Each structure stands twice: as structure tokens, then as C-alpha cells.
Chains A and B, each alone.
Chain A
Amino acid sequence: MSIKIENFTIHEAARLLEEKKISSTELCKAYIERAKKLEPKVKAFLKLDEEDVLSQAKASDDRRAENRKLGQFDGIPLAVKDNITVKGQTCTCASKILQKVVSPYDATVIRKLKANGFVLFGRTNMDEFAMGSSCENSAYQKTANPWNINCVPGGSSGGSAASVSAAEVTAALGSDTGGSIRQPASFCGVVGFKPTYGRISRYGLIAFASSLDQIGPITRDVEDAAILTDVMCGRDSRDATSLPDTNEIFSEDLGGLKDLKGIRIGLPKECFEIEGLDAGVRKSMEKSIQVFKDLGAEMVQVSLPHSKYAVATYYVIATAEASANLARFDGIRYGNRMKADDLLETYLETRGAGFGDEVKRRIILGTFVLSSGYYDAYYTKGQKVRTLIRRDFQDAYRKCDVILTPVSPTTAFKFGEKSDPLQMYLADIFTISTNLAGICGISVPADIHENGLPVGIQLLGPDMGEKQLLRISHIFEKNRAIKEFIPGI
């Protein structure tokens, strides 16, 4: 049968597979054909092995035929950001330093997805080591925004967002350290969900900043985000920071809310005072607020007084952790090793040649803030401000159920437009404090800007507040003015 692949979801695919109206092979072939057509322009994938995908699809079809399918999502293709390990595959983090390193193990999320029969559909491009907001920092290629190929897809999970937006795959995995799922999702008109820190095991996610990183789904709709979170979340005996299991099923009764009566939506007053908040983005925010009001939600003003310090705090904490996390990439045990006269030179040359500029910038910043004589002034201070940022949220959630903000001050920008690193950092102002606080947040497409690019809204829930956050996001999605976000590519 022919399917409307441009807007196809996991839950629709699951239904059609169940009704035997489609096979996994047909589904995967359709995506491969589309990817073949679009990839020369989008360049979302670092690796897409047609043969491997089709053999996984065939295995899934065989399981279904023999009545041993691995759950209702068996056979549905999913792209994986290239910083999550899959046994037997390279996992480059879009860095030259990991170009040929084959992972000897599966990340916990990959193990779970495999156990549920998902077809692993290629590896998506990203900013090198997830450091960036535009995907321009990949050592291999620049991914384009399917809505306008002169624009960036956002980052760091830009390849994942672009691949889903362009419907080269049903859904994708991303990782979010300071907005790396939500911002590209917003730029590409798809849903991006960062669960509460610790909900999904980080084991197998190549760390950028361990206390901030979280894996999450990038999908066409909220329901798919809930489905993938259900599959991936849970306590992991390999991640000591993973949270205990709750018995919630996020995808169950997701559309249960008929309206938002009794729901309080917090609007941080600081959000609208941000310098550089694009007028169109502001307008889309206002339209979205109206949608919530029409649904009966109570809009309350909240304050996040320390949010203006979030970017500075983030760049201290994230880079400090990154400087240690990336120390292991030295060409000793794995990876490219530069020939040099002695051990010290080997380290210097290997790391000097293996890392891109942004990665070096952050390693240097992180090394500096931890170095003798500066630790207290920068790192300890950053951790203390982090406490204040967490408290801001705790205070705010006494007054509201979820918080509504823009995702980014602008829509997707043009390649090369933000050449100043600090300007690039400052654009993460709305997403970054979520990671510092550890709470959950989602980016949902809300509007189309007059420049033709999508605009998302961000909804933030408290710690472990996924269930309600997803239900509120879902009802918003059903009631927003624009029903479908399909790029013209």
C-alpha cells in the first residue's frame, strides 16, 4: 500500500504493521528511497547502511510472520544520533578522533530498542561531541534544515531533527545537554523531548557533560515521544545516576485531557525581557498562549530570577565536565594516533589534530575553570548558582504545573551567521536552565514564522513530571492552528 510518508508516525506504523497492511521491509524501503532522494541536500546521516537496515527489517517481518514479534513496535525504523553506542558499529560523535573506533557494546537504550524490535536506521550527524547549536561543528558534513536548506537544522542533534523533519525516518534519538534535542526540534518543526535527568540511562551515551546529559526522542508528534520514552526509560544497573522505576506509562491515556481547566501554566516574566527575542517568535508565543487560554488553562506569571545567569553557569559546569570526559580520547587504547617522537607529543598531536575548534575551545575553558587557583572562583561558584537556578524552578512549580517559554530567541539561522562563539552560546538561554535544574522539557511545533520556518514552544515540567507534561503538550498539539509541519523539501 502507499503511505503518506511525509507525516508518518510510530503509532500509525505500529497499527498498519499490526493490521498487516504494511511490512517492515516496505516501510524501511520507503524511507531509504526518500533518504536517497533527499540526503544529497539534507545530509542528516553520517552513515546509512541500506543492506543492514533491510536485513533488520526482514528479520522483523519474519518474527511477525512466525508470531514471535518483539512487541507492537517491532520493525519500525529509528535513527540514532552518532554519540550513542551500538555494538559492532562506529560511533564518531562527528569527530575525527573517533573516526574508526568500533564500539564493543550496546548502549542501554539500544539494548532496549533492539529488545523491542526497532530497526536501527543509520547514524545521524551532530555537532562534534554534542558541542554546538547548529550542527556546523561536525567534522564530516553540514546538515541542512529541510525547511530551508540555507539554514542550519539546529544542534547538537541536528541530524536527528532534520532526518525526522524530512521524513527520512520515522523518529530519531537525540541527546540534550543544554537544549540539544529541543532547539533543533524547534528549528525543524518536530517534537523534541528531554526527560528528567536520570529517567533514561546514559550508559552508552558518549558523555559531553555527565551531570547535564540526557537521551531523548525526536519525533513527529508527542505520542511518538511518549512511546519512545516508555521503551527507553527505567533504572539501569549500569548507570548509577539513573532514577528508580515508576510504573507510569507515558503513552497510555495521553489524550485523556479534554481541556486544560484547573491547569496552571507559568510564564516566566524574564523570558519576554530577553534581548534579541525575535518579534515573530514572540508573536508565535502569544498565539500559543491563546491556545492554552482557550483550552481553559490558567496563565500565571512566575519568576526565574537567576535564569539570566544560566548560560554563564552552564559554560562553567558543562565545559569542566567535558574537559575530563574528553580526556580519554588520546589515541592510546583506540582511535587515530598521530605518530610522534614521544608520549607527550603523541598526546598533543593526536588531540590537536583529532578535535575541532569548538571542542578545543570548550576543553580549554573547562580545563581552566578547574585549574589550580581558579576552581573556587569559577567551578564552585557555578555549582552554587546552579543551586539557585534549581530553587527558582522549585519555587515556580509551587505556583504552576508547567512552565511555557520559547525554545530559542529566533528561528533557524543561516549557515555561518553566528560566527562568534559567545553569541551562539547566548542563544541557548531558554533551554539551558532545564538541564542545570535536571527537570523535563519538551519542544512542540507551534507556528510557522513569516520567514517560512517553524517555531516551537517549550513546556517545562518539574522533576519526574513527564506524565502531565506530555498530556498538556499533546492537547496543545491537537489544538494548535497549524496541524501538520511538513517541510517543502
Chain B
Amino acid sequence: MSKYDIVIGLEVHVQARTNSKMFCSCPNKFGQEPNTMVCPVCMGFPGVMPYPNREAVMKTVMAGLMCGCEIAKFSKFDRKSYFYPDMPKNYQITQYDLPLCGRGGVHIFGKGFSGNDLPDKVIGITRIHLEEDVGKLNHFSGYSGIDYNRAGVPLMEIVSEPDMCSADEAYAYLTALKQIMQYADISDCDMEKGQMRCDVNISLKLAGAKEFGTKIEIKNLNSFRSAHRSIEHEIVRQAEILDNGGRLMQETRGWTDERGETYLLRSKENAHDYRYFPEPDLLPMTFTDSEIGKIKNTLPELPEQKRARFVATLGLTEYDAQVLTQDKTLSDYFDEGAKQAKSPKMLANWIITELLRELNDRNIPFEKNPVPVGHLVELVELVSAGTITGKSAKEVFSELFSGGKTPKQIVAEKGLLQISDDSAIDKFVVLSIEQNPAQVKQYKEGKTTVIQFFVGQVMKLSKGKANPQIVNKLLKEKLDQM
């Protein structure tokens, strides 16, 4: 039993994937030359006005519905004032007291990042609101440079309840959120492209104490891994201070991956006065029950629902289902294949043990998987119909990776058709017995397991194409007659 209770809440920013920015028509496109995806609106030129993107609003509402949030009947935008060069207007258009999405929650369960089992629980979501992203600062020695390409990209802020108690739970929550965003096509959540960013709020209190401890914020964590590491680090750091009778101050801290440490960014005394007020350039948004109902009907299956369906209707194990639903593209791949496959379970096995391993070995992300699911289904069918042996199948599978050809074509070209003809196999059986008198002797002396040796020999002689059942049957017959 630990001395302290750990209380963690997360603020996650997710960019909505849209064609255009939140309040102007500039393309919402990453990785372009600096300051080439800009216009007077997103650079805050004098006289411009914002005009909100419907798709971004809809995606935020969808995100809310996917997380079981209440959708606001009445919502509005506000201005949040703060002078900073990445914010072109020195205020951000965001949502203050009436966010698009109210309370909801996300389910976490299964194995945690550290390998321990997670408690089966729901992490509460306080709210999800929509705002505009800011520009990107580049730091040089003695000065900084701003690129406004990112300024004005639609950004959802997802605020959780302080419901997490460990770095593993936070990691699992982030994974669940990312899955949801990908499933509903809301965001790609590519953290390397800044499409998903995370701030952590963490406090420690004596175990069982009612009152919360001092809340410390860790800002701008740009990977799940650094979120996990920074939490572990903070728990130790804060506990040490408390153990030594020290007091924690409410503050905002940064994180360095290289040193694996948090550091002070600003203390409570420098807290901002954001002067929120309703954005006068934008009118409120309203949603009726029937409008919300209509959006609900267009929602895709949640990862959790998909897992349950895979287990219940496709005969997968919980483990298979969890692996296959981790990634939206992967789950869609399997779903598509399962429609064509006679045995979805066999397809699942092939994907998990062969395809994922191969991709992993070659360091290929699943989106770049070169094997069309139809090919994999065909391969599985060839094996289960006995057209090729399992051994040949692995050879075919490697070929599939180089692309283009169907399994049937590869089988034909390489002559991998399984030999199931008794007389053809008989030749190999006879040959193997002739070549290995010592093992024959062992068999005769009662060491019947040596038959596996003969199977291996026959497979070698047949270049792996002999039907193993027939080989077994014929070997037994021949050896027993001797």
C-alpha cells in the first residue's frame, strides 16, 4: 500500500482533420513550407473576420458522442486573451462556459503499458470544446521565428476528470481516445505531426485523505511515452518533496525527454488573466434532439463494440479482438477479410502471427501494409483446403510482401501445390527408409517417435509439398510392415 493517492487528469488537444482551417479557407495541411498556408484571416490582419467551419463543429460533436458526452443544446465561441506571438490576434477563439460537449467517459481495461493489468474503469470526460490552433515557434539563438501555417487549424480540447491513478491508466486513456478519434475519422492523431498533444495535471495526497493535493501541470507532452514517463517522474519527485516535509506549489512544468525530467515553466503567481468573453464576431450554435439523433445514427462502431462483435460473431478470442481493434486501419482490414474468409479465426491468426510480425520486423506502419486482404484470405483458403502445406504457405506469404501476385499465381509459379497423390509420396517414403537404416532400427526397437524424423526427411525430399497426413500414414504402414 502506497503512502500517497495519485490523482491525474489530462487535457488532450486533437486537431480535427478537415479540408480547410477553422475560421478561414486556407488548407488544413501539415508539412508545407512555412507561412505558405496562410491568409489575412489566420494571420490576424486588420479588418478580417472569422467564419466557422461546419465540418469541424460536426467532428467535435461526433467526438463527443463517441465518448458518450452530452451535446450542448446551446453553445458559443469565446475569446481568450493572452499576448503571445504564436497567436495572431493575441486572443484565441475558443469555448469557455458553453462547450459543444459536456460530460462523458472513456472505458479502459486490459493490460497496461507496464504489463500489469489495468482496473476495468471509465475515465470521466469533463468537456470537449472546439478552438483554433496557434502558430508554430522556431527557436534560434537570440531570436525566434514564427510559422503561421498551423494557426487556425481546428483543435478540439478534451478535458478529463481527475480519474486516473497511474501512468498506465493515463497511457490507456490516451490510447482509447486516439482509437476513438481514428475510428470516427475525426483525426489521424499523429503525434509526430502535432495532431494530438497532451497536458497532464497531477497531484498527490496522503492515502485516504479527503482533500486534494497541490495540482501541478505538465505541459506539451508530445508522445504517449513521454506522458507516461513524465507522470512516473512527477510521482517520485512530488513524493520525495512531501516525504521530506516540503510543500508543493501550484505550478506549470515542462518536460525534457533527453533528461527524463520535468522543470518549472511558471508558478501560480504568474497565472494568466484570460479575460474570456463571448466572441462578438460569431453567433451561437444550437442543436435539437433530432439533429443530435441524426448525427448519432451516422456514428461508426466504437472500438469497444467492435471487439465485442469480433468475439461474439467471428469466434475470436478476447486477445485476438483486442489486437485487431487497436488500430482502425487494422480492424477495417480484418473486418473486410472476415467477410470473405470461410474461417475468420484462421485469418485472425495469420494477421496476428504472420502479418503483424512481418510488418514489425520490417518497420512498416500498418497503413503501408502491402498485402491486400483478399490475397491473405486466398492464402488462408489455400492452406485450409489442403492445396498447399503450411510450410509452403509461409513461402507464399513472403512473396506476397513483394507485391503484385496473387497467392494462386505464386503457388503455380513456384510449383508449390501440395502433393496428395499416394504413389508420388510413396517414392519419397521408400527413399527416406532406404537412406536411414539406423533410424529404421530404432523404430523397430520400439522408439516410434522417430517417425517424426522420417516425416522431416520426406518433407525435405518433396520440397515441403507433400501432404503431411498422407506422409504420416504411408510411413507408418511401411515401417510397421518391415
Contact = CB atoms under 8 A, between A and B. Distances in A.
Interface of A: 83-85, 91, 93, 98, 101, 103-105, 107, 202-207, 209-211, 237-241, 320-321, 323-324, 327-330, 332-334, 343, 347, 367, 370-372, 375, 379
B280 A240 contact: no
Interface in B20-64: 40, 43-52
B132 to A, nearest CB: 14
Interface string B277-311: 10011110000000000000000000000000000
Interface core residue of B46, B81, B91, B277 (most chain A CB under 10 Å): B46
A369 to B, nearest CB: 9
Given A370-B275, A370-B277, A327 B48 contact: no
A240 B49 contact: yes
A383 B303 CA distance: 45
Given A320-B277, A371-B275, A379-B277, A238 B51 contact: yes
Nearest to A326: B90
B51 A240 contact: yes
B47 A107 contact: yes
A103 B277 contact: no
Contact of A85 (B46, B81, B83, B282): B46
A324 B275 CA distance: 9
B455 to A, nearest CB: 76
B47 A370 contact: no
B89 A327 contact: yes
A206 to B, nearest CB: 5
B273 interface: yes
Number of chain B interface residues as a range: 20 to 34
A98 B51 contact: no
A85 B47 contact: yes
A91 B47 CA distance: 10
Given A333-B88, A372-B273, A240 B44 contact: no
Contacts of B146: 332
A370 B272 CA distance: 13
B90 to A, nearest CB: 4
A416 B204 CA distance: 63
B112 interface: no
B151 to A, nearest CB: 10
Interface string B68-108: 00000000000101010100111100000000000000000
Given A240-B282, A328-B89, A203 B277 contact: no
Nearest to A106: B47
Given A327-B83, A330-B83, A330-B90, A210 B51 contact: no
A203 B46 contact: no
Contacts of A104: 40, 45
Nearest to A329: B46
Contacts of A347: 83
Contacts of B89: 324, 327-328
Contacts of A105: 40, 45, 48
Contacts of B88: 328, 333
A62 B146 CA distance: 46
26 contacts: A83-B47, A84-B47, A85-B47, A91-B47, A104-B45, A105-B48, A107-B47, A202-B49, A206-B47, A207-B47, A207-B281, A209-B280, A210-B281, A237-B51, A241-B49, A241-B283, A323-B81, A324-B275, A327-B81, A330-B83, A330-B90, A332-B146, A333-B45, A334-B45, A334-B46, A371-B275
